[in-house]
Chain A
């Protein structure tokens, strides 16, 4: 089609164990706001990383003005006029606004940086985005909203023709969102093509012109922004749910985990729920809804401001991982490699990490006993390895995850918090992890499962808690809930806006 400033055709991207993009098309016209919509893991991030030169596609092509281009680096993207504003800004907090705007190409005079001109240029750019701030202010002293405007001004300085914005409204208050929209509309009217990612459906008709929906690494539809919400939700989640979720509900017993009024200012507020023996409670919600933060806080990994956590009848002191462990709580963190494993250590070492203290007599570790226990659990979980001495780094994602879960089994944890338990795990190992969850609950243990994978939450939970913007916004029985129900709750505005 003529008039497209940028076209992506059949983009494919394979990561070890995951096919992130499997045929994505995108057409972008000058002077439009094009919304990219999709669940977590649908491929939005991978797509924008390809367009901004951070990843290289394994298949497909990108055209600018009808000519195929290769974007091999951030520099290539910049030369083509593609600017990207990530959620984590690319600003140097210690430098001034003017220095950030001129980063890498400051105006020079006689070989020295011409500060006066740099500050004049900055003032012009700031005026264009309607931000009143002294160009000599260090960026670190600005609030989030104004930092975002500085990022936009940076894109203007590069004379970007394509501006990609990754969830720009996620961090803004309602008033700030209005202001952002005004600037985005102005840029659109100047002929910039804008790719706009958002999870908030109500923003789409306000700001968008067209919407491309991604699902499971494919672009499944391109629809006008006026498309009704129900239809958009259906497009986003409407995949066939295959019966890969062998949940066998157990009879719920006594509450093992009780959380009352858990609050951390600015992160989550007044979170209360229970998990009973034999139960799997799923926690659904968008990225940034505060699910992981709640899990870490109740486990004692982070502090909280108010509320109480009781495990097995024992009230936990805040911020004390050791006490949580002793009470029978275990956490399988979402960042397996960063927080769950000592990658350079052997399987046996990792499996024995939690029980290291218990296996110690007079300062000496019973390493033989540790090894025996590790061997037993490795066998129970079917960890595929060359031996207990194999470095965990060299295991596949699924087997690594089994090791993280396994260290809590060795410790005999009664309440397991699984945060994104099957992310980056292949299908075979997934089902094995589900089977393990069944065995645990059948034996009277309890599982709290945070997951962004809706079919997984629906298929493996007994009850589903939905979080949005730091609050628990609802509870659904898994047997009757649909993906649309969960999604509708997760994207709903919380009264009174965000947690402050």
Chain B
């Protein structure tokens, strides 16, 4: 039997393959070039740093969501968990009077704990991820309001430095975003947990029959998502120098959009940290650009909705072509 009949690979030029694989990156470049032609302010250093800071919180949330989406799940609670973590940190440091490192650890631990609760409901309670994390979306937001009694709480000064800019050109949120992005990439590519995420998302039953303890890996996955959400919440609060119970409302949808624009599939098994990073940048650049072009906030929502639909549509069409 001829080899060619067994190997059904479409021969395409490497350039075409690269473009198809990195569609989001291409879109980002086109967007940047287009906006720099349309608006003279866009390419200024100040504005680009602004875009970076804008992208940071979404990107950090989205890195966490990437883990979950790669396993074929979804985490709707990340916005609420981000707010709750920041509130716990601020409340611990100011009214409760804990030393700021203890308060910070407490804030991060709350995020991880929320993720673990999600995972227990999903892995052992057999709730659909959508429902379990929808419940957590409400619970975490509610707890944030209860603890803060509905008012912003001042952040300890040491933590608020996370919102600073080092020198003139190095905003700390951007550094945190890059570090978290690298951590996410390493987890996804190099660790057992990460490789297991791809296997579970690709075919949960095959993963189980290959000896992967699927339930335990889900615990790790959602805990990571909660932990990343906590970091995002703290970065967001540091920019405002206070933790606000209503902060990051609706951010979970931006995070999911960033992951999906970055080429991940909601059915699982596919997604990269770099893609998610590009997805978050596209959203931030788009918002910034539309502001510079004085497009009304109402129309911005329309444009961003269309972009999300287009991104997924292009990806779906591409996949249909290859299968």
Contact A322 B211 (CB under 8 A): yes
Residue from B190, B194, B202, B209 with most neighbouring chain A CB atoms (10 Å): B209
Contact B6 A331 (CB under 8 A): no
Given A356-B196, A364-B191, A365-B192: A331 and B209 within 8 A (CB)?
yes
A339 proximal to B (CB < 8 A): yes
Instruction: Say which size band chain B's interface belongs to.
Output: 20 to 34
Contact A344 B270 (CB under 8 A): yes
A325 proximal to B (CB < 8 A): yes
Given A365-B192, A428-B1: A342 and B206 within 8 A (CB)?
yes
Q: How far is the CB of A408 from chain B (nearest CB, A)?
A: 9
Interfacial residues of chain A within 296-311, with CB under 8 A of chain B in the complex: 299, 301
A360 proximal to B (CB < 8 A): yes
Given A331-B209, A364-B190: A349 and B6 within 8 A (CB)?
no
Contact A353 B1 (CB under 8 A): no
Which residues from A are CB-within-8-Å of B191? 360, 363-365
B164 proximal to A (CB < 8 A): no
Which residues from B are CB-within-8-Å of A363? 191-193
Taken together as a complex, chains A and B put the C-alpha atoms of A343 and B202 apart, in Å, by: 7
Q: How far is the CB of A488 from chain B (nearest CB, A)?
A: 34
What residue in chain A is nearest B4 (Cβ atoms)?
A384
What residue in chain B is nearest A335 (Cβ atoms)?
B205
Contact A339 B6 (CB under 8 A): no
Q: How far is the CB of A292 from chain B (nearest CB, A)?
A: 12
Q: How far is the CB of B273 from chain A (nearest CB, A)?
A: 16
Contact B206 A339 (CB under 8 A): yes
Contact B206 A367 (CB under 8 A): no
Q: How far is the CB of A285 from chain B (nearest CB, A)?
A: 22
Residue from A345, A360, A426 with most neighbouring chain B CB atoms (10 Å): A345
Contact A321 B323 (CB under 8 A): no
Which residues from A are CB-within-8-Å of B199? 342, 345, 349, 353, 356
Q: Mark A320-355, 1 if CB is under 8 A from B, else 0.
A: 011001000001010000111111110001000110
Given A349-B198, A363-B192, A386-B7: A341 and B206 within 8 A (CB)?
yes
Contact A321 B203 (CB under 8 A): no
Which residues from B are CB-within-8-Å of A390? 7, 9
B8 proximal to A (CB < 8 A): yes
Given A385-B7, A398-B6: A360 and B211 within 8 A (CB)?
no
Interfacial residues of chain B within 89-129, with CB under 8 A of chain A in the complex: none
Contact B195 A342 (CB under 8 A): no
Q: Mark B156-198, 1 if CB is under 8 A from A, else 0.
A: 0000000000000000000000000000000001111111101
Q: Which of B190, B203, B208, B210 contacts A367 (CB under 8 A)?
A: B190
Taken together as a complex, chains A and B put the C-alpha atoms of A399 and B190 apart, in Å, by: 27
Q: Which of B8, B198, B209, B269 contacts A340 (CB under 8 A)?
A: B209
What residue in chain A is nearest B2 (Cβ atoms)?
A384
Which residues from A are CB-within-8-Å of B207? 342, 353
Taken together as a complex, chains A and B put the C-alpha atoms of A396 and B196 apart, in Å, by: 25
Taken together as a complex, chains A and B put the C-alpha atoms of A354 and B209 apart, in Å, by: 9
What residue in chain A is nearest B1 (Cβ atoms)?
A428
Contact A321 B211 (CB under 8 A): yes
Contact B202 A395 (CB under 8 A): no
A407 proximal to B (CB < 8 A): yes
Q: Mark B200-225, 1 if CB is under 8 A from A, else 0.
A: 00110111111111000000000000
Q: How far is the CB of B59 from chain A (nearest CB, A)?
A: 24
Contact A393 B323 (CB under 8 A): yes
What residue in chain A is nearest B214 (Cβ atoms)?
A321
Taken together as a complex, chains A and B put the C-alpha atoms of A82 and B216 apart, in Å, by: 50
Q: How far is the CB of B71 from chain A (nearest CB, A)?
A: 12
Q: Which of A333, A357, A426 contacts B209 (CB under 8 A)?
A: A333
Q: How far is the CB of B304 from chain A (nearest CB, A)?
A: 28
B3 proximal to A (CB < 8 A): yes
Q: How far is the CB of B217 from chain A (nearest CB, A)?
A: 11
Contact B209 A345 (CB under 8 A): no
Contact A353 B190 (CB under 8 A): no
A226 proximal to B (CB < 8 A): no
Q: Which of A301, A345, A399, A407 contacts B208 (CB under 8 A)?
A: A301
Contact A365 B190 (CB under 8 A): yes
Given A344-B269, A345-B198: A353 and B212 within 8 A (CB)?
yes
A394 proximal to B (CB < 8 A): yes
Given contacts A365-B195, A367-B190, A395-B7, 18 further A-B contacts (CB under 8 A): A322-B211, A325-B211, A338-B203, A340-B206, A341-B206, A342-B206, A342-B207, A342-B269, A343-B203, A349-B195, A353-B199, A353-B206, A356-B199, A357-B211, A363-B192, A365-B190, A395-B6, A399-B6
Between A and B, 9 residue pairs with Cβ closer than 8 Å are A339-B209, A341-B203, A342-B203, A344-B270, A345-B199, A356-B195, A364-B190, A365-B191, A396-B8
Binding site for B on A (CB under 8 A): 299, 301, 321-322, 325, 331, 333, 338-345, 349, 353-354, 356-357, 360, 363-365, 367, 384-386, 390, 393-396, 398-399, 407, 426, 428
Interface pairs A-B: 9 shortest CB-CB: A342-B202, A360-B192, A353-B210, A325-B211, A384-B6, A396-B6, A342-B203, A386-B9, A339-B205
